[in-house]
Amino acid sequence: MEKNVFTLLHDKHPVGEAVVRAYGMDLVPASRQLEKADSIFKEFAKRENLISRALKPVRDQYDYILFDCQPHLGLLTINALVASDYYIIPLQAECFALEGLSEMMSSVAASKEENEIDIRFGRVFLTRCIASKKLCKQVADTVQENLKEKVFSTCIHENIKVSGAQAHGVPIFQYIVGNDLQRVAAEDDLKLTEEILQKLNQCFKAYLQQRIHSNVFIATYS
């Protein structure tokens, strides 16, 4: 059986056995078995620490470790929070997404207290923005007013060409073939990446004085 995140947590084999090297990154693929993670792992001892324990032997080998999580606070997301220093939330520029953001932040705060985890709120970035849509600007203004410096200045614009990269199973940067819309999509992602790294590095200057070893967590809620 192909090794992945599920086998890593369930069978407890070394993380290196599940790593796939692609596009200059070490990736550990997901599997459909994770859909039943809450029930499968509910009897495991210290089940909220499964990811943290699995990554402990390799965490010092990486500058950044990222987790791509589902948009709800299930067992896997709690595991990712326990194993992380920061979390970042993508926010779709729609009214209902604002309600979801408030609920997610409240849930994370409750989970922090319950599990005694040391994680800090990173920032929010807006995604699927449509420049000509008045509602998108209203949502952006509301988020900025409430979260202030906790909002990244870069937003990811709605772009149907992104689905082409997804269909081919490649990053958007690998999918650019000269189309202006594709270049715009890639530029949004690149600007956001640069802004995230800049902000995290600023935060880490003070944070690393207190901790010798550290990793970074970017949880994507889409």
The predicted-structure confidence for 2-48, as pLDDT tens digits, reads as follows 899 999 999 999 999 999 888 888 999 888 888 888 889 988 888 88
- Whole-number Å distance between alpha carbons of 4 and 188: 30
Q: Does residue 101 lie in a domain region?
A: yes
Q: Does residue 128 lie in a domain region?
A: yes
Nearest residue to 60 (alpha-carbon basis) of 163, 211, 172, 203:
211
Domain housing 107: 45-207
Give the up-direction half-sphere exposure of residue 117: CA atoms within 13 A in the CB hemisphere.
Answer: 24
Contact 215, 59 (CB under 8 A): yes
Q: Does residue 14 lie in a domain region?
A: no
Q: Count the residues in the chain.
A: 222
Q: Does residue 132 lie in a domain region?
A: yes
Question: Which CATH number covers residue 173?
Answer: 3.40.50.300
Q: Does residue 187 lie in a domain region?
A: yes
Count of structural domains within the chain: 1
Q: Does residue 9 lie in a domain region?
A: no
Give, in order, the Cα–Cα distances in Å from 147 to each of 89, 124, 164, 218: 12, 8, 33, 18
The predicted-structure confidence for 37-95, as pLDDT tens digits, reads as follows 888 998 888 888 899 999 999 988 888 899 998 877 888 988 998 888 888 989 888 87
Q: Does residue 177 lie in a domain region?
A: yes
DSSP one-letter code for 15 = G
Q: Does residue 91 lie in a domain region?
A: yes
Sign of the Cα torsion 104, 59, 206, 49 reads: positive
